[in-house]
Structure 1
Amino acid sequence: MKKLLKALSVMGLSLGLLAACGTADDDAAEQQNQDDQTQGSGEEDEAGAENGEEATGELVELVVGASNVPHAEILEFAKPLLAEEGIDLDIVSFTDYVLPNEALAAHELDANYFQHIPYLNAQNEDHGYGFVNAGGIHIEPIGVYSQEYSSLEELPDGAEIIMSDSVADHGRILMMLEEQGLITLAEGAGIGASIDDIVENPHDFQFLARVEAALLPIAYENGEGDAVLINSNYALDAGLNPLEDAIALESGDQDNPYVNVIAVNAGDETDDRIVTLVNVLQSEEVKQFILDKYNGAVVPAE
């Protein structure tokens, strides 16, 4: 009897050990399975996040200041094209020529788009800005507007001609009037010409350079002077059609030095976002948009 109990006891102990081992093994296997599932889930989540980022195409912000017309309109057209390149374009509109450069110098903007090269150079010299031209986009031929006269030939002797107080624009205005045979400039005056460079003024025109460029359309609407020279962007913004309303229009030739550019702080011209912006704005799609929308009042640069 004692032998039987002893045998049963040994057998029970063995079964218990086997059961305990089985439970431990099962627990370990279950824990390993849970760990594997957790790790797998983490890897899947990480992969999903990466795929999600690729799928959503997270965009990089680019802040560009621009005049309302045509610059901001051109940028609005380019915005979806830039989104395809991974750039979220934030357009900040300005109505003058001073604040966009102040904002760029303060690094509140990544770039601005409103000025031509002579103005950019003058701003650098006058204010110590370190701006550079990242690429030319378009030309805005300047126009002569008059409430009373329908051609330059009709302007009377002694006519008052109102133009921008921006010295950077004087050369192009005077060169245009010289091309029309109305005045003669000193030899070599070129784009830096000023009123003092006029050597022949047979009609004794009176040049009044005292109106801010943005206010020139108002001067025209108010009938000030006999003729007003207005930059096309401000003319368009005021509802004027340079091709129909101007009595004379500056040449829009591609070699015009007054091409409007993307301006950035020195060193930023190699920023991938800026390079992409310029490439998109110089693309055939944007050039065609400019031609279709402005019908010659704004000319794409080459």
Structure 2
Amino acid sequence: MNRATYYNFIEERLITLCTRVELRGKINILDYHLHSENFYRDLFNKLYTWNLENLNSLVQNVEAIDLIDRTKNIIIQVSATNTKAKIDSALSKPSLFSTNYTGFNFKFISIARDANNLRSQSYTPPTGINFIPATDIYDARSILQDIYNLDINTFEIIYKLIKSELGRETDVLRLESNLSSVINILSKENLAPVDLNANINSFEIDRKIDFNNLNTSKEIINDYKYSHHIVDRIYSEFDKSGCNKSISVLNTIKGEYNKHSLESSGDELFNLVISNISERILQSSNFEKIPQEEMEMCVGILVVDAFIRCKIFKNPNDYNYATS
């Protein structure tokens, strides 16, 4: 599901940016602070359809104001310091008392830490400046919430921006994964569907599907369950050579399931597992690039196989996928 893929990537990159801004600030490396002004300018323009400009590039050192939208009367301070004192200080700067900004709405973006505690505080903006803390203070959490509720087309636009600005930096951090090793092999197999498979009991699998309320995922499971014997053969070949690839792959899939099983269930959880496993594979250094549709199919086959093998989702009483 594209929405889950987009969101997971955006969430990881925004949180990473917040963490790096905070840590680098502690050792007085402030380049990310400066770059964040333009990043949030572009992000907010696409997310909220604003027309923000970086005021610092137009007028040097305007205190308390980093971004401005003159068409919607918005002024924004972008800061890694998220304290009430910081906002109070900004609201008291002489620049905000200028008649140039009468009728403008002041907003504050915390680019490092969560700012939820600041929204319940009281502030005194200058006369003519509007500032509502509950809605005018932004942080990663509030931004991600707004992104999560986007229509899919805007979601994709935000994803492309984040990927362009904050995409993974170097390949030196990309590690090999057993998941990718299996996907590389599976992609070369003949995965044409077959009508019968002596290794599985379709009735039992249908029972497990119903037991876990997998309504829309049922079609995927039924399409890919007949590839179980191919995955089983690949795993067996690894196991004969003493490798732990089958165990590690199944444990990775189970780990993704466990990570999200407390807050998600049913089709949403099934799609999350597929999405997160796909992301892991894409970030593996040993992944042999194949068309996206083929990769999604291979990942789906692995996840369905883990479903059949009792590695993910709850089993109904006396569940036995193997045909007797």
Q: Same fold (TM over 0.5)?
A: no
Q: Which has the higher contact order (CA 8 A, sep 6+)?
A: 1
Q: Which has the larger radius of gyration?
A: 1
Say which structure is richer in strand: 1
| TM-score between both structures, scaled by the size of structure 1 | 0.26
TM-score w.r.t. length of structure 2: 0.25
Higher helix share: 2
